[in-house]
Protein backbone atom coordinates (compact mmCIF):
# COMPACT_ATOMS: atom_id res chain seq x y z
CA UNK A 1 0.00 0.00 0.00
CA UNK A 2 1.29 3.42 -0.96
CA UNK A 3 -0.06 6.83 0.00
CA UNK A 4 0.43 9.90 -2.24
CA UNK A 5 1.60 12.52 0.27
CA UNK A 6 0.92 15.97 -1.24
CA UNK A 7 4.29 17.21 0.07
CA UNK A 8 6.68 14.23 -0.16
CA UNK A 9 5.21 12.29 -3.09
CA UNK A 10 4.02 8.69 -3.11
CA UNK A 11 5.45 6.81 -0.15
CA UNK A 12 5.30 3.39 1.44
CA UNK A 13 2.68 2.68 4.08
CA UNK A 14 5.44 2.06 6.66
CA UNK A 15 6.12 5.80 6.87
CA UNK A 16 2.55 6.53 8.00
CA UNK A 17 0.62 6.20 11.23
CA UNK A 18 -3.08 5.39 11.04
CA UNK A 19 -5.35 7.41 13.30
CA UNK A 20 -8.93 6.57 12.32
CA UNK A 21 -11.97 7.88 10.51
CA UNK A 22 -11.70 11.40 9.09
CA UNK A 23 -15.07 12.15 10.74
CA UNK A 24 -12.93 13.07 13.79
CA UNK A 25 -12.34 16.41 12.01
CA UNK A 26 -16.07 17.25 12.17
CA UNK A 27 -16.12 18.15 15.84
CA UNK A 28 -19.58 19.12 17.14
CA UNK A 29 -20.19 22.46 18.84
CA UNK A 30 -19.57 22.42 22.58
CA UNK A 31 -23.28 22.86 23.33
CA UNK A 32 -24.43 20.16 20.89
CA UNK A 33 -26.80 17.50 22.29
CA UNK A 34 -25.38 14.48 24.08
CA UNK A 35 -26.45 12.12 21.25
CA UNK A 36 -24.43 14.15 18.74
CA UNK A 37 -21.35 13.95 20.94
CA UNK A 38 -21.93 10.25 21.52
CA UNK A 39 -22.11 9.68 17.78
CA UNK A 40 -18.94 11.74 17.19
CA UNK A 41 -16.93 9.97 19.88
CA UNK A 42 -18.09 6.37 19.65
CA UNK A 43 -20.01 5.50 16.47
CA UNK A 44 -18.14 4.70 13.27
CA UNK A 45 -19.29 3.63 9.83
CA UNK A 46 -17.79 0.41 8.51
CA UNK A 47 -18.21 0.89 4.76
CA UNK A 48 -17.60 -1.70 2.06
CA UNK A 49 -16.22 0.75 -0.49
CA UNK A 50 -15.03 4.32 -0.24
CA UNK A 51 -13.78 5.56 3.12
CA UNK A 52 -11.88 8.59 4.41
CA UNK A 53 -9.18 8.12 7.06
CA UNK A 54 -6.73 10.27 8.95
CA UNK A 55 -3.10 9.28 8.48
CA UNK A 56 -0.02 10.93 9.91
CA UNK A 57 3.16 11.03 7.81
CA UNK A 58 5.26 10.24 10.86
CA UNK A 59 8.50 9.26 9.14
CA UNK A 60 8.20 11.87 6.41
CA UNK A 61 7.14 15.51 6.43
CA UNK A 62 5.02 15.29 9.59
CA UNK A 63 1.69 16.23 8.00
CA UNK A 64 -1.77 14.98 8.87
CA UNK A 65 -3.54 13.70 5.78
CA UNK A 66 -7.07 12.74 4.83
CA UNK A 67 -6.65 9.61 2.70
CA UNK A 68 -9.47 8.35 0.51
CA UNK A 69 -9.39 4.64 -0.19
CA UNK A 70 -11.61 1.73 -1.11
CA UNK A 71 -11.96 -1.02 1.50
CA UNK A 72 -13.10 -3.54 -1.12
CA UNK A 73 -10.43 -3.07 -3.78
CA UNK A 74 -7.75 -1.61 -1.43
CA UNK A 75 -7.23 1.11 -4.01
CA UNK A 76 -5.90 4.40 -2.59
CA UNK A 77 -7.78 7.15 -4.38
CA UNK A 78 -6.00 10.22 -3.08
CA UNK A 79 -4.70 12.18 -0.13
CA UNK A 80 -5.03 15.80 0.96
CA UNK A 81 -3.44 17.89 3.71
CA UNK A 82 -5.67 18.53 6.73
CA UNK A 83 -4.02 21.94 7.07
CA UNK A 84 -2.06 23.74 4.37
CA UNK A 85 1.56 24.66 5.03
CA UNK A 86 1.51 28.17 6.44
CA UNK A 87 5.04 29.47 5.93
CA UNK A 88 4.36 30.67 2.38
CA UNK B 1 36.86 24.35 35.13
CA UNK B 2 37.06 20.74 34.02
CA UNK B 3 38.36 20.27 30.49
CA UNK B 4 36.15 17.71 28.72
CA UNK B 5 37.03 16.00 25.47
CA UNK B 6 34.25 16.20 22.87
CA UNK B 7 33.51 12.88 21.18
CA UNK B 8 31.75 12.64 17.84
CA UNK B 9 28.49 10.66 17.62
CA UNK B 10 30.14 7.69 15.89
CA UNK B 11 33.43 7.80 17.81
CA UNK B 12 34.94 4.32 17.89
CA UNK B 13 32.33 2.96 15.45
CA UNK B 14 33.54 4.24 12.08
CA UNK B 15 34.91 3.99 9.46
CA UNK B 16 33.65 0.60 8.23
CA UNK B 17 34.54 -0.99 4.90
CA UNK B 18 33.01 -3.97 3.13
CA UNK B 19 34.56 -4.58 -0.30
CA UNK B 20 33.77 -1.57 -2.47
CA UNK B 21 31.48 0.01 0.11
CA UNK B 22 32.62 2.45 2.74
CA UNK B 23 30.81 4.10 5.61
CA UNK B 24 32.43 7.00 7.41
CA UNK B 25 31.40 9.74 9.75
CA UNK B 26 31.00 13.30 8.52
CA UNK B 27 31.66 16.45 10.52
CA UNK B 28 29.45 19.23 9.22
CA UNK B 29 30.06 22.05 11.67
CA UNK B 30 26.87 23.61 12.98
CA UNK B 31 23.48 21.99 12.35
CA UNK B 32 20.63 24.46 12.80
CA UNK B 33 16.91 23.76 12.50
CA UNK B 34 14.98 26.52 10.71
CA UNK B 35 11.18 26.51 11.01
CA UNK B 36 9.67 29.60 9.33
CA UNK B 37 6.90 31.42 11.15
CA UNK B 38 3.49 31.75 9.54
CA UNK B 39 3.76 33.68 6.27
CA UNK B 40 7.54 34.07 6.59
CA UNK B 41 8.72 31.37 4.18
CA UNK B 42 9.73 33.67 1.32
CA UNK B 43 11.31 36.27 3.62
CA UNK B 44 13.35 33.56 5.35
CA UNK B 45 14.52 32.18 2.00
CA UNK B 46 15.65 35.66 0.89
CA UNK B 47 17.47 36.28 4.20
CA UNK B 48 19.16 32.86 3.96
CA UNK B 49 20.27 33.64 0.42
CA UNK B 50 21.74 36.97 1.50
CA UNK B 51 23.48 35.68 4.61
CA UNK B 52 24.61 32.18 3.58
CA UNK B 53 24.21 31.91 -0.22
CA UNK B 54 21.52 29.23 -0.13
CA UNK B 55 17.74 29.57 -0.30
CA UNK B 56 15.15 27.64 1.70
CA UNK B 57 14.90 24.28 -0.09
CA UNK B 58 11.81 22.88 -1.77
CA UNK B 59 10.47 19.60 -0.33
CA UNK B 60 12.76 16.65 -1.11
CA UNK B 61 15.66 18.92 -2.08
CA UNK B 62 18.76 20.53 -0.66
CA UNK B 63 20.42 23.79 -1.64
CA UNK B 64 24.21 23.87 -1.73
CA UNK B 65 26.75 26.66 -2.01
CA UNK B 66 30.37 25.73 -1.34
CA UNK B 67 30.59 24.28 2.19
CA UNK B 68 27.13 25.53 3.14
CA UNK B 69 23.98 23.48 2.63
CA UNK B 70 20.34 23.87 3.56
CA UNK B 71 18.40 20.60 3.47
CA UNK B 72 14.64 20.11 3.63
CA UNK B 73 13.75 18.00 6.67
CA UNK B 74 9.99 18.25 6.95
CA UNK B 75 6.88 20.36 6.66
CA UNK B 76 7.99 24.01 6.95
CA UNK B 77 11.37 22.90 8.29
CA UNK B 78 14.95 22.75 7.01
CA UNK B 79 18.43 22.30 8.48
CA UNK B 80 21.23 24.73 7.79
CA UNK B 81 24.44 22.68 7.65
CA UNK B 82 27.84 24.26 8.18
CA UNK B 83 27.89 27.87 9.35
CA UNK B 84 26.65 29.46 12.54
CA UNK B 85 23.27 30.95 11.54
CA UNK B 86 22.97 34.66 10.93
CA UNK B 87 21.34 36.31 13.95
CA UNK B 88 18.74 38.02 11.75
CA UNK B 89 17.09 34.70 10.83
CA UNK B 90 15.50 34.56 14.26
CA UNK B 91 13.01 37.25 13.24
CA UNK B 92 11.49 34.99 10.58
CA UNK B 93 11.88 31.48 11.93
CA UNK B 94 12.34 29.34 15.00
CA UNK B 95 16.12 28.80 14.96
CA UNK B 96 17.40 25.87 17.02
CA UNK B 97 20.97 24.63 17.44
CA UNK B 98 21.01 20.87 16.85
CA UNK B 99 24.72 20.44 16.16
CA UNK B 100 25.31 17.73 18.76
CA UNK B 101 21.97 16.00 18.27
CA UNK B 102 22.69 14.15 15.04
CA UNK B 103 24.89 11.30 13.86
CA UNK B 104 25.95 12.05 10.28
CA UNK B 105 27.41 9.31 8.12
CA UNK B 106 28.38 9.01 4.45
CA UNK B 107 27.78 5.78 2.56
CA UNK B 108 29.73 5.56 -0.68
CA UNK B 109 30.95 3.12 -3.28
CA UNK B 110 29.37 0.97 -5.96
CA UNK B 111 26.17 -0.58 -4.61
CA UNK B 112 25.42 2.04 -1.96
CA UNK B 113 21.83 2.23 -3.22
CA UNK B 114 21.51 -1.56 -2.88
CA UNK B 115 22.50 -1.27 0.77
CA UNK B 116 19.83 1.29 1.51
CA UNK B 117 17.25 -0.61 -0.56
CA UNK B 118 17.38 -3.23 2.20
CA UNK B 119 16.57 -0.69 4.89
CA UNK B 120 14.71 2.31 3.45
CA UNK B 121 11.25 2.31 1.76
CA UNK B 122 12.22 4.98 -0.80
CA UNK B 123 13.78 4.51 -4.25
CA UNK B 124 17.26 6.04 -3.88
CA UNK B 125 18.69 5.02 -7.24
CA UNK B 126 20.19 7.99 -9.14
CA UNK B 127 17.34 8.17 -11.67
CA UNK B 128 14.80 8.68 -8.90
CA UNK B 129 17.11 10.33 -6.37
CA UNK B 130 19.57 12.60 -8.22
CA UNK B 131 22.28 14.89 -6.87
CA UNK B 132 20.99 17.14 -4.05
CA UNK B 133 17.76 15.21 -3.63
CA UNK B 134 16.87 14.79 0.03
CA UNK B 135 14.20 12.78 1.81
CA UNK B 136 12.90 12.44 5.32
CA UNK B 137 12.11 8.77 5.80
CA UNK B 138 12.94 5.81 8.00
CA UNK B 139 15.83 3.35 8.08
CA UNK B 140 14.62 0.22 9.78
CA UNK B 141 12.43 1.91 12.36
CA UNK B 142 14.71 4.93 12.79
CA UNK B 143 13.76 8.40 11.63
CA UNK B 144 16.43 9.60 9.21
CA UNK B 145 17.17 12.30 6.70
CA UNK B 146 18.95 11.06 3.56
CA UNK B 147 20.50 13.22 0.86
CA UNK B 148 22.67 12.66 -2.21
CA UNK B 149 25.85 14.73 -2.37
CA UNK B 150 28.78 14.40 -4.76
CA UNK B 151 30.63 12.05 -2.42
CA UNK B 152 27.75 9.61 -1.91
CA UNK B 153 24.66 9.20 0.22
CA UNK B 154 24.60 11.13 3.48
CA UNK B 155 22.41 9.77 6.27
CA UNK B 156 21.50 11.75 9.38
CA UNK B 157 19.97 9.97 12.38
CA UNK B 158 19.39 10.94 16.00
CA UNK B 159 22.66 10.80 17.90
CA UNK B 160 21.21 8.40 20.48
CA UNK B 161 20.73 5.90 17.62
CA UNK B 162 24.30 6.15 16.25
CA UNK B 163 25.36 2.62 17.23
CA UNK B 164 22.15 1.12 15.82
CA UNK B 165 22.56 3.11 12.61
CA UNK B 166 26.11 1.87 12.10
CA UNK B 167 25.13 -1.70 12.99
CA UNK B 168 22.19 -1.78 10.55
CA UNK B 169 24.20 -0.22 7.72
CA UNK B 170 27.25 -2.38 8.32
CA UNK B 171 25.19 -5.60 8.25
CA UNK B 172 23.47 -4.54 5.03
CA UNK B 173 26.83 -3.56 3.47
CA UNK B 174 28.25 -6.99 4.33
CA UNK B 175 25.21 -8.72 2.81
CA UNK B 176 25.37 -6.70 -0.43
CA UNK B 177 29.12 -7.32 -0.70
CA UNK B 178 28.66 -11.08 -0.09
CA UNK B 179 26.03 -11.25 -2.83
CA UNK B 180 28.28 -9.35 -5.25
CA UNK B 181 31.08 -11.86 -4.67
CA UNK B 182 28.75 -14.75 -5.44
CA UNK B 183 27.57 -13.31 -8.76
Catalogue all structural domains in chain B, each as residue range(s) with its CATH number. 16-27+100-182 (3.30.1360.120), 30-99 (3.30.70)
Which of B75, B76, B120 has the highest number of chain A CBs within 10 A, making it the mutation to test binding with A?
B75
Within a domain: residue A50? yes
Residue A87 has pLDDT above 80, yes or no: no
Per-residue pLDDT tens digits for B77-101 = 999 999 999 999 999 999 999 999 9
Please name the residues between 22 and 61 in chain A that touch chain B, using a CB distance below 8 Å: 59-61
Q: Give residues with Cβ within 8 angstroms of B10, minimum separation 6.
A: B25, B103, B105, B162, B166
A48, part of any domain: yes
Provide the CATH number for the domain around residue A44.
3.30.2270.10
Count up the domains in chain A and report the number: 1
Q: Is a pLDDT exceeding 80 seen at residue A62? A: yes
Give the pLDDT mean for A20-34.
95
Q: Where in the sequence is the domain holding A74, given as residue range(s)? A: 2-81
Residue B6: its pLDDT value, please?
A: 87
Q: Do B60 and A14 touch (CB under 8 A)?
A: no
Chain A residues within 8 A of B38 when measuring between CB atoms = 86-87
Give residue B97's pLDDT: 97
Determine, yes or no, domain membership for A86: no
Q: Is the pLDDT of residue B104 over 90?
A: yes
Residue B76 to residues A40, B132, B162: CA-CA distances in angstroms? Answer: 31, 18, 26
**Is A87's CB within 8 Å of B40's CB?**
yes
> pLDDT tens, B15-42?
999 999 999 999 999 999 999 999 999 9
Give the mean pLDDT of A24-33: 96
Asked whether residue A11 is assigned to any structural domain, the reply reads yes
User: Please, which pLDDT band fits residue A45 given cuts at 50, 70 and 90?
Assistant: very high
Contact present, A6 and A65 (Cβ < 8 Å): yes
Contact B74 A60 (CB under 8 A): yes
Buried b (16+ CB within 10 A) or exposed e, B159-180: bebbebbbebbbebbeebbeee
Instruction: State whether A62 and B75 contact (CB < 8 Å).
Output: yes
B181: closest CA of chain A, how far (Å)? 31
Mean pLDDT score of chain A, rounded to an integer? 95
Task: Answer whether residue A30 is part of any domain.
Answer: yes
Q: What ipTM did this prediction achieve?
A: 0.89
Average pLDDT value for residue range B148-166:
97
Nearest C-alpha of chain A: how many angstroms from B3?
Answer: 38
B58-77 b/e (C-beta count within 10 Å ≥ 16 → b): ebbbbbbeeebbbbbbbbbb
A49 occurs within a structural domain? yes
Question: Chain A contacts of B136, Cβ < 8 Å?
Answer: 8, 59-62
Evaluate whether residue A88 is within a structural domain: no
Q: Which of B44, B75, B138 sits opposite A85 (nearest CB)?
A: B75
Size of interface A-B (CB pairs under 8 A): 51
- Residue range B131-146: average pLDDT? 97
Amino acid sequence: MRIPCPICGTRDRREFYYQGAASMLDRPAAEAPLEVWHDYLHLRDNPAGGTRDLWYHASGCGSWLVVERDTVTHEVLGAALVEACDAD
Amino acid sequence: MVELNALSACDGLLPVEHGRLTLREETLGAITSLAPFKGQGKALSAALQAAHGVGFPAPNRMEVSGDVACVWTGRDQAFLLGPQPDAGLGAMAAVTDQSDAWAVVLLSGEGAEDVLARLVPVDLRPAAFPLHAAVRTELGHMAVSIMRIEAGLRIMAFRSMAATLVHELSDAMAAVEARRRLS
